[in-house]
Structures are given as C-alpha cells and as structure tokens.
Chains A and B, each alone.
Chain A
C-alpha cells in the first residue's frame, strides 16, 4: 500500500500534469473523448505502479509515459485512423488563420510529441528524453527537424489558401 507521502505526491503530480497528459493524448488520438480516457487509464496505471517508483519527482514523467502507452493501446484497437477533421473540430471558433495544433496532429508522433512537449508544456530536452526513452541528442535533433517540417507545412498550406 503506498505511503501517505506517495499518495500526496501522486495527487499533486496528477493535478499538475493532467492538462499536459491530455494534450499528449489528443495529439496522438485526435479525439477529445479518447484523450480523456487515455489520461484516466494512465492515472490508474501509474497508481498501480506507485510503490515501484523510487524517485517521486519522476512522477510527472511517469504519468506522461503512461499516457503515451494508453494512447498506443487505443490506437491499436482502432479499426481505422482518425482523420484530421476530428482534431479540427476541437479548435476554438476564433482559431486564427494558422491552426498549428491541427498541423501538429498531422505529423508523425516521433516529431509531434517532442515539439508539443517542448513548446506547449515547456519541458527541457532532458525531460522529453526521459519521457520518450530517447537519448537527449536524438530529442534535440527531432525537435529541429520537427520545427522545420511544421514550418514547411504551414507555408505550404498558406500558399495553397492564398494567404
């Protein structure tokens, strides 16, 4: 049974990380309801393993990892891939002319996740590396690559719309 300190840290980590978990799941699953369920599954999975987590400071990273695992499980169960229209429907009505999150949702996961973790959640390369289980250099490289890909995608879209 987890100790009181573990319980307290667990709840604090969930409260502080739940929005980041939701966005990670949303970028992967592109449907809000599925993203919420993935967060819920991740919270439960983390709780089950709480006593095995030695460094409680690592709980936010563990929660994000569990979210990715839960989202992968959902993706494996889907018969067909979600379309971008699902993600577009989530954007607020006053979405500006450059809806970057829609473009993020269209990128490969290995690029979109580092990008959103860095610039939406403010995570360091080291923290991203820890969550994704990658060398720090690979994270830095993927970030560079992802930013360029996103920029090119935006430029291509904006040219296509005559903006």
Chain B
C-alpha cells in the first residue's frame, strides 16, 4: 500500500460524531456567549455571514465567473497558485448551462487548469447554483420523508440567498414547525477522463461569492495515474448533479428527503504547459554507502529517488527516520509529502513544488530523531548532494 492510498483512507474513514454532538456543542458555545435567546442569535449569524463575504471582497477581485482567471483569485492566498496562474489559461472549455423555473439559468465552467504531464490543478465555478424556498409537506409527502432527530443549526454563508436558513435556525431552536426546500447544482467528487479514468484529488478549497457563486480549486495527487501522464493535452470531465433537498421540522422531530438528477458534466481540454518537468542526477555517500540520486521536479511536484550502489540503507532505531531536504538555487525549500522507509535499497520521497520549475537543485540526506535517541556515529553525518540537470 502506497502513501497516497493511506492518505486517502485517513480522509475517507474519518470518524463522525454521533447525531446530537453538533447541537450540544453549538448550544454550549452560544450559552457561553450569552446568545441562548434566539433573537440575539439572529444578529450574530448575520454578522458571521457578513464577515465571510467581506473576506472574499478583501481579495480585491470578486471574480466574474466566466471572465477572471480563478488561479489569480485563489493565488491571493497561495503564492504557488499565483505563480501558476499565467500557465493555467484554458483554450478549450465551454460553460454548461441549466435552466429551471426556480434557479433561472445556472452556469458551471472549468475556468482554468494547470497540467504539466505529472500534476494537475483545476479551478471551476458554479454561478446561480442554489435556491431556497419555504416548504410544508402534505401528509403523504411527510410519510415518505426520513426522520432525523437532530435539527442542526446551519451556518449562513450568504444572507442574501439564505435568509430561509435563518428562519430554520430560529424555528428549530424555538420548537416551532418549519420547512424549506433547497435546490442546488453541485459538482461531483470525481474528475474523470473521457475514457473513465478517475483522477484522485489530494485537496480542494472553496470560495463563496456575494451572489452565491461557488469557486473551487482542486489539487490532484501527483504523479497522476500512468494513463494521464505526459500527454500533449489532457481532456477532463467533472460531473454535475442537480438536487432538491426537503427539510421539515414539526416542532419535535426533523425530516428529510431528496431528489437527484445528473446533468451534463463540465468539460475542458488542458494543454500541457511548456514549463514541464526537469530531471536531475547526483551522487552521494551516507553511512559509507554510495548512492545515486535522481530527482524529477515540476512547478507543482517533485520526487526524489535515492538508490544505493552498495548494501541497503541501514535500518534505524525506533523514533529515528531518514529526512530528505530539497531546495532550489534561490534556497526555496520543497515541502516533503511523506518519508522514506529505512532498511531498503531505495529511498523515495515526494515533495510539493514551489510554483516554478527549478533550474538547479541541492539536496541533503540525514537521519532525524526524537530527543534522547542515540544514533551510531556514522548515521549522524548528513550527506550533501549536488544535483546536475540531465541533458
């Protein structure tokens, strides 16, 4: 099992507290803040919502979905993404539109994307993708809904479009009947190639605009699956779902039901950037063992492989581990994404890129340990490796 699989499992299997936990903590926090009476909460929730929107306005560019490069918007908070923005302009992408009486026209678009043959980052937006209205079920509808005993207070992210949630929060806290329907267009968790290859994500980030636009940037695991590597252009599809969720609180219990519809996916073809990947090689000696180091590095990702030219790298005592430090000619450090195993012929470490393809690299291999761990003398001497670009 590789590191990426384990990382995915940690996220996918994370424990969720029992129903009732959110309500308990929410109530305790509000009681401490002196906001148990709901009339005060109304003001508080509005203030939170305003703060969220202001934080987006502070970016200086509330992107118009189809116009601005979303890498520039997300780059305000992440220098690496800002540096990639010029390389993330798409030539082939087209908006998906869906019209409904409630939402009017919803537009979804893969706005910008970076692909260098090994790594992929995609930004997209959905405009006018959410609508709320009051809902009171008929007795037939209510009997078809699923009962849940936990009507949670919902954090309002946009007071202009989500006033009905404020009414829900007030009603459920006061024990008064209330219901609403939420119609939304949302993206799938899966990004695929037209051949059906699933591109696993590493992390994603969302920003919400003042009119309810949702902007998302997804970083995918590097290197990409074999079949998606080193193509001249990578076509991708991100599915879209249209759903209606019905929520009803009868004064005691909460009920929920949902309807789903699959829409046409968002599609784009991402040209491989010229920046590409550079490869470097170097030699070193650690604990008397000569080894060859090979590094491939792009703006987004780097991977170092150290192969012993003699016996395996020595096994280490508990609470000691091999560390590999990589930096470019301007002394910018790469952040390691995992660590190598000891006692093997090769040490492999992946790194996040630094936003640009490095022109030169240097590396250090050493053993780090917790305080109090006694290491053999030969394990305490780091190895410095000069790397030369492969021609």
Q: Residues on A close to B: CB < 8 A?
A: 2, 4-5, 7-12, 14-16, 18-19, 22-23, 26, 32, 35-36, 39-40, 43-44, 47, 90-91, 95-96, 98-101, 104, 110, 115-116, 119-120, 122, 125, 140-141, 143-145, 147-148, 150-152, 154-155, 158
With contact pairs A11-B33, A18-B22, A145-B321 given, residues A36 and B9 touching in the complex (Cβ less than 8 Å): no
Residue B275 CB within 8 A of the other chain: no
Provide the residues of chain B in CB contact with A23, threshold 8 Å. Answer: 14-15
A14 to chain B: closest residue by CB: B29
On whether the beta carbons of A100 and B51 are closer than 8 Å, the reply is no
* Binary A-proximity of B31-47 (CB < 8 A = 1, otherwise 0): 01111000000001001
Whole-angstrom distance from the CB of B353 to the nearest CB of chain A?
15
Closest Cβ–Cβ distance, residue B363 to chain A (whole Å) = 15
Shortest Cβ distance from B201 into chain A, in angstroms?
Answer: 11
CB distance from A62 to the nearest CB of B (A): 13
Q: State whether B33 touches A122 (Cβ < 8 A).
A: no
Query: Is B336 located at the chain interface by the 8 A CB criterion?
Result: yes
Q: Please name 8 pairs of A and B residues whose Cβ atoms are closer than 8 Å in the assembled complex, sorted by A.
A: A4-B44, A22-B15, A39-B21, A96-B9, A120-B11, A125-B335, A141-B323, A141-B339
Query: What separation, in Å, do the CA atoms of A8 and B385 have in the docked complex?
Result: 52
* Minimum CB–CB distance for A123 against chain B, Å: 11
**Closest chain B residue to A10 by CB distance?**
B33
Q: Are A152 and B203 in contact, CB atoms less than 8 angstroms apart?
A: no
Q: Mark B296-339, 1 if CB is under 8 A from A, else 0.
A: 00000000000000000000000101110000000000011011
Residues of B within 8 A of A (CB): 1, 3, 6-7, 9-11, 13-18, 21-22, 24-26, 28-30, 32-35, 44, 47-48, 51, 155, 203, 319, 321-323, 335-336, 338-341, 349, 368, 370
Shortest distance between the CB of A16 and any CB in chain B (Å): 8
The answer to whether A36 and B24 have CB atoms under 8 Å apart is yes
Q: Are B14 and A120 neighbours in the complex by a CB distance under 8 Å?
A: yes
Q: Report the nearest A residue to B21, measured CB to CB.
A: A36
Q: What is the bound-complex CA distance between A6 and B323, given in angstroms?
A: 41
CA distance A125 to B7 in the complex (A): 15
> In the complex, which residues of chain A have a beta carbon less than 8 angstroms from the beta carbon of B34?
7
- By the criterion CB–CB under 8 Å, are B51 and A15 in contact? no
Known: A140-B336, A150-B6. A10 touches B29 (CB 8 A): yes
Give which listed residue, B9, B24, B30, B47, contacts A98 with CB less than 8 A. Answer: B9
9 shortest interchain CB distances as A-B pairs: A144-B339, A145-B321, A119-B10, A14-B29, A7-B33, A47-B32, A100-B9, A120-B14, A8-B47
**Given A98-B1, A120-B11, A155-B1, residue A144 in contact with residue B29 (CB < 8 A):** no
Most chain A Cβ neighbours within 10 Å, of B32, B322, B368, B370? B32
B311 to chain A, nearest CB (A): 20
Instruction: Determine which of B1, B33, B47, B340 lies in contact with A154 in the assembled complex, contact meaning CB atoms within 8 Å.
Output: B1
Taking a contact as CB atoms closer than 8 A, the residue among A22, A47, A98, A155 that contacts B21 in the complex is A22
> How many whole Å from A22's CB to the nearest CB in chain B?
5
Chain B residues with CB under 8 A of A116: 10, 14
Residues on A with C-beta less than 8 A from B32 are 10, 43-44, 47
Query: Closest residue to A146 on the B side, CB-wise?
Result: B339
Within 8 Å CB of A100, what residues of B? Answer: 6, 9-10, 13
Q: Is the CB of B28 within 8 A of A43?
A: yes
